[in-house]
Structures are given as C-alpha cells and as structure tokens.
Amino acid sequence: MPISKGYKQLVAEAESQVVALTPLQVDAKLQTPGVLLVDLRDVREVKREGKIPGALHVPRGMLEFWIDPDSPYYRHEFDQAGEIILYCNKGWRSALAAQTLQLMGMDNIAHMQGGMERWVSEIGRLEQTS
C-alpha cells in the first residue's frame, strides 16, 4: 500500500512546530526545578545503552496514556513537571511525540535534537540501568 507522506516529511513538519534544544541546552536545564527529561526509547535501547542521568523512561507507545490524568495508566511523575523535554535515539520519535503533546494541549514541551546519539557525542554523561 503506497503512502503519500513518509517519516522524513512527518519529522520535518514536527520539527517546524516544536521547540528543539541542543544537548548543551538540555544539560543546562537539567538542574532547573520542574524540568522533566523523558527518554522515549524502547526498553531494550535503554538497557543496552543506558540513559541520561535523571531521565524518566516512558516507552514511546505509552506516552499519551502515561501523561493524561484521565488515563488508567497515568503516571504521577508528571504532576510536578513545569517543562518536559523529550529525547529518543536520533530525535525523530521525540519530535513527533512533542508535536503530539502540543496537539493534546500541552505547552512547555521541547525535544532534544539529535537524540541520544548527539548527547553521547557532545556530553557523554550516562547512567546504566539494570
């Protein structure tokens, strides 16, 4: 079945509509009260590569359910979040997810350009998970 719009176009459209931060900008925000860093990668990626220290792991497929207070899957970690920064491996899933959260009516949402790959290259600080 042919598609009329590919992932590259979807990501480009999302990037034009959301706030994108560099890893350096994200690192500077990590000590700010109310900033919640969310790792959207698959659990296998997190176990294999670790994550940015202090990040909350939320599998991409559960984000909308975990962030909506009306959902039976709601996670209270979002209660005190004044700003949410999303990241994934390359910045594609996080751009699309940030766009979705904006469509849900949320503001103070951003994503990290280049994702975990860029973080590792520019910052390098990780924590291993069990």
Which of 26, 49, 63 is CA-nearest to residue 117?
49
SS3 125: coil
Give pLDDT tens digits for 19-53.
Answer: 999 999 999 999 899 999 999 999 999 999 999 99
Every domain of the chain and the residues it spans: 12-122
Q: What's the pLDDT score for residue 92?
A: 98
pLDDT of 130 > 80? The answer is: no
Q: What's the pLDDT score for residue 129?
A: 81
Q: Which CATH number fits the domain 12-122, given the four candidates 1.20.59.20, 3.90.400.10, 3.40.250.10, 3.20.20.70?
A: 3.40.250.10
Give the C-alpha separation, 99 to 21, whole Å. 14
CA quadruple 54, 103, 17, 92: dihedral sign: positive
Q: Cβ neighbours of residue 4 under 8 Å, at least 6 residues apart?
A: none
pLDDT of 97 > 90? The answer is: yes
Mean pLDDT of the chain: 96
Q: What is the pLDDT confidence band of residue 56, given thresholds at 50, 70 and 90?
A: very high
> What is the value of pTM for the model shown?
0.95
Q: What is the pLDDT confidence band of residue 83, given thresholds at 50, 70 and 90?
A: very high
